[in-house]
Amino acid sequence: DAKTTQPTSMDCAEGRAANLPCNHSTISGNEYVYWYRQIHSQGPQYIIHGLKNNETNEMASLIITEDRKSSTLILPHATLRDTAVYYCIVRVTNAGKSTFGDGTTLTVKP
């Protein structure tokens, strides 16, 4: 697996966009970028994934740089319920096990 680097923690004001960065400079051509989040020790929840094009779903947007060495998860209008640990993972799509690092603790403040 390519190694990922994320900031330990971030704050965001409620209603504003939360931009969570992830560096994955050793990513290989067939590896996807996946994002999960874990709210207060619940099981992690899948958010979004992508290969090289930007992706958007009902939860978030994923922006991947052209060289694919970094990406940003965007929560367009953060709410208090988005406070969680966010994990960036790089894997080939058909691989089995996934390794979760320390992630970024996002705190959304009123």
Partner 1 sequence: EADIYQTPRYLVIGTGKKITLECSQTMGHDKMYWYQQDPGMELHLIHYSYGVNSTEKGDLSSESTVSRIRTEHFPLTLESARPSHTSQYLCASSRSGANVLTFGAGSRLTVL
Residues that bind partner 1 (CB under 8 A): 32, 34, 36, 41-46, 49, 91-103
Q: State in angstroms the smallest separation of the CB of 62 from partner 1.
A: 14
Q: State in angstroms the smallest separation of the CB of 36 from partner 1.
A: 7
d(CA 19, CA 29): 24
**Which residue number, 27 or 34, has a Cβ lying nearer to partner 1?**
34
Q: State in angstroms the smallest separation of the CB of 83 from partner 1.
A: 15
Nearest one of 63, 65, 56, 75 to 27, comparing CA atoms? 65
CA dihedral 40, 43, 44, 47 (to 10 degrees): -100
